[in-house]
Amino acid sequence: MVPQNVPLELLERIADHLIEKGYVIIDDFLNQEQVDELVERILFHREEGNLHKAGIGKPEDYQVIHEVRGDYIQWIDREKNPLFFSYYVDRIKEIARFLNRTCFLGLRDYEMHMTVYPPGAGYERHVDAFQKDDNRRLTAVCYLNSSWTPGDGGELLLYPVTDGGEEGIIVSPLGGRLALFESTMAHEVLPAKEQRFSITGWMLNERHLQGEGID
- Choice between 35 and 141, CB closer to ligand OGA: 141
Q: Which residues bind ligand OGA (CB under 6 A)?
A: 123, 128, 141, 156, 187, 189, 198, 200
The Cα 214–Cα 79 span in angstroms is: 14
- Choice between 107 and 189, CB closer to ligand OGA: 189
- Choice between 134 and 215, CB closer to ligand OGA: 134
The Cα 96–Cα 215 span in angstroms is: 9
Give the binding-site size for Ni ion (rule: CB under 5 A): 1
Own/partner contacts of 24-29, CB < 8 Å, gap of 24 or more, are 24/179, 24/180, 24/181, 25/171, 25/177, 25/178, 25/179, 25/180, 26/177, 26/178, 26/180, 27/174, 27/176, 27/177, 28/176, 28/177, 29/91, 29/142, 29/176, 29/177, 29/178
By CB under 5 A, tell whether 128 contacts Ni ion. yes
Residue 93's binding partner, choosing from ligand OGA, Ni ion, none, with beta-carbon cut-off 5 to 8 A by kind?
Answer: none
Given the rule CB under 5 A, which of 33-41, 51-59, 83-91, 123-131 is the region that contacts Ni ion?
123-131
Residue 200's binding partner, choosing from ligand OGA, Ni ion, none, with beta-carbon cut-off 5 to 8 A by kind?
Answer: ligand OGA
Binding residues for Ni ion (CB under 5 A): 128
